[in-house]
Structure 1
Amino acid sequence: MTKAIMIQGTGSNVGKSMIVAGLIRACTRRGMTVRPFKPQNMSNNAAVTEDGGEIGRAQALQARAAGVAPHTDMNPILLKPQTATGAQVIVQGQIAGHQEAAAFGKNKNALMPAVLQSFHRLAKGCDLIIIEGAGSPAETNLRAGDIANMGFARAAHVPVILMGDIDRGGVIAQIVGTQAVLEAEDNALVRGFAVNKFRGDRSLFDAGRDDIARRTGWPSLGVIPWFDQAHRLPAEDVMDLPARARSSGDGIVIAVPRLPRISNFDDLDPLAAEPGVDLRMIMPGSPLPADADLVLMVGSKATIADLAAFRAEGWDIDLAAHIRRGGHVLGLCGGYQMLGRRIADPHGIEGDPSEVAGLGHLDIETEMAPIKHLSLKSGTHCESGAHLDGYEIHIGETSGPDTERAWLDFDGRPEGAASLDGRVRGCYMHGIFSSDAFRAVFLAGLGGTSSVVFETGVEAALDALADHVEDYMDVDLLLNCAGDITA
Structure 2
Amino acid sequence: MAKAIMIQGAGSNVGKSMLVAGIARAALRRGLSVAPFKPQNMSNNAAVTVDGGEIGRAQALQAMASGLEPIVDMNPVLLKPESETGAQVIVQGQRTATLRARDYGKMKATLMPAVLDSFYRLAKGYDLIVVEGAGSPAEVNLRSGDIANMGFASAAKVPVVLIGDIDRGGVIAQLVGTHAVLPPEDLALIKAFAINKFRGDPTLFADGMEIIADRTGWRPLGIVPWFDQAWRLPAEDVMDISGRPGGPLKIAVPKLNRIANFDDLDPLSAEPDVTVEIVEAGHPLPADAALVLIPGSKSTIADLAHFRAQGWDIDLHAHVRRGGRVLGVCGGYQMLGKRIIDAEGIEGPPGEVDGLGLLDVVTEMKPAKRLVQTSARHVSSGEIVMGYEIHIGQTNGPDTANAWLKIGERGEGAESADGKIKGCYLHGLFSADGFRSAYLAELGHSGQVATYGKSVEESLDALAQHLEAHLDMDAILATAETVGR
**TM-score after normalising by structure 2:** 0.98
Report the CA distance shift for 1:111/1:238 in structure 2 as closer, same or farther (over 3 A).
farther
Picking from 280, 283, 297, the partner of 1:283 is: 280
Instruction: Return the alpha-carbon distance in structure 1 between the equivalents of residues 162 and 348 of structure 2.
Output: 38
Query: In 2, distance between residues paired with 1:20 and 1:191?
Result: 17
Relative distance call for 1:52 and 1:414 in structure 2 (3 A) is same
Q: Distance in 2 between matches of 1:471 and 1:374?
A: 40
Find the counterpart in structure 1 of residue 404 from structure 2: 407
Give the count of matched residue pairs: 484
The residue aligned with 2:153 is 153
Structure 1 CA distance for aligned equivalents of residues 141 and 355 of structure 2: 41
1:476 aligns with: 474
Distance across 1 between alignment mates of 2:257 and 2:143: 28
- Asked if residue 331 in structure 1 is aligned to residue 318 in structure 2, the reply is no
AA aligned to 1:93 is G
1:320 aligns with 2:285: no
| 1:193-223 Cα shifts (integer Å, max 9, x gaps) | 0100000001101111111001101011110
TM superposition shift of 1:412: 2.7
Q: Residue 63 in 1 paired to residue 60 in 2?
A: no
CA contact (8 A) 1:43 1:237 kept: no
Query: Which residue in the other structure is 2:21 paired with?
Result: 21
CA shift, 1:55, in A, is 0.4
Q: Is the 8 A contact 2:241 2:266 kept in 1?
A: no
1:19 aligns to what SS in structure 2? helix
2:2–2:128 contact (8 Å) kept in structure 1: yes
Aligned partner of 2:255 in structure 1 is 258
User: Per-residue displacement from partner, 1:330-377 (whole Å, max 9, x unpaired)?
Assistant: 000000000000011122222222311000000000011011111111
Which stretch has the larger CA shift, 414-423 or 445-454?
Answer: 445-454
Report the RMSD for the aligned CA atoms in angstroms.
1.0
State the match for 1:100 in structure 2: 100
AA of the residue aligned to 1:117: D
**How far did residue 415 of structure 1 move?**
0.4
Question: Could you say what secondary structure the match of 1:371 adopts?
Answer: coil
Q: 2:239, 2:278 within 8 Å by CA — same for their partners in 1?
A: no
Amino acid at match of 1:177: G
Check conservation: 1:38, 1:132, Cα contact below 8 A. Answer: yes
* Map of 1:220 onto structure 2: 220
Summarize deviations over 1:159-180 as a string: whole Å, max 9, x none: 0000010000000000000111
Give the CA deviation at 1:142: 1.0
1:389/1:431 contact within 8 Å kept: yes
For each residue in 1:315-335, what CA deviation from the matched residue of structure 2 results, as whole angstroms up to 9, or x when unmatched?
000000000111000000000
Counterpart CA distance in 2 for 1:436 and 1:20 is 27
1:429 to 412, 426, 432: 426
Structure 1, 232-241 or 477-486: larger mean CA deviation = 232-241
Alpha carbons 1:251, 1:448 under 8 Å: kept: no
SS state at 1:163 partner: strand
User: How far does residue 310 in structure 1 lie from its aligned partner after superposition?
Assistant: 0.3
Contact 2:250 2:290 in 1 (8 A): yes
Per the TM alignment, residue 239 of structure 1 is displaced from its structure 2 partner at its CA by: 5.2
Structure 1 residue 238: deviation in Å? 4.1
Q: Which residue of 2 aligns with 1:486?
A: 484
One-letter identity of the residue aligned with 1:339: L
Q: Does 1:45 align with 2:45?
A: yes
Unaligned runs of 5+ in 2: none
Q: State the distance in 2 between where 1:260 and 1:24 align.
A: 32
Match of 2:354 in 1: 357
Q: Hey, what's the Cα distance between the residues in 2 that align with 1:279 and 1:242?
A: 7
Code of the residue aligned with 2:17 in structure 1: it is: S
- Which residue pairs with 1:464 in the alignment? 462
2:384 aligned with 1:387, yes or no? yes
Deviation at 1:283, TM superposition (A): 0.9
What whole-Å deviation, never above 9, does each CA across 1:243-266 have from its counterpart, x for those lacking one?
3x54x4x32111000111001111
1:184 maps to which residue?
Answer: 184
Structure 1: how far apart are the matches of 2:151 and 2:283?
43
Q: Secondary structure at the match of 2:434?
A: helix
Verify the 8 A CA contact 2:242 2:276 in the aligned structure 1.
no
Contact 1:342 1:365 in 2 (8 A): yes
In the TM superposition, 1:229-268 aligns within 5 A as: 229-238=229-238, 240-243=240-243, 245-246=244-245, 248=246, 250-268=247-265
Q: 1: distance between equivalents of 2:69 and 2:408?
A: 21
Partner of 1:368: 365
Q: Distance in 1 between matches of 2:408 and 2:22?
A: 35
CA displacement 1:31-78 (0-9 Å, x = unmatched): 111110000000000001010000001111111111111000000000
Q: CA contact under 8 A between 1:57 and 1:235: conserved in structure 2?
A: no
- Counterpart position of 2:138: 138
Unaligned runs of 5+ in 1: none
4+ residue stretches of structure 1 with deviation over 4 A? none
CA distance in 2, matches of 1:2, 1:283: 44
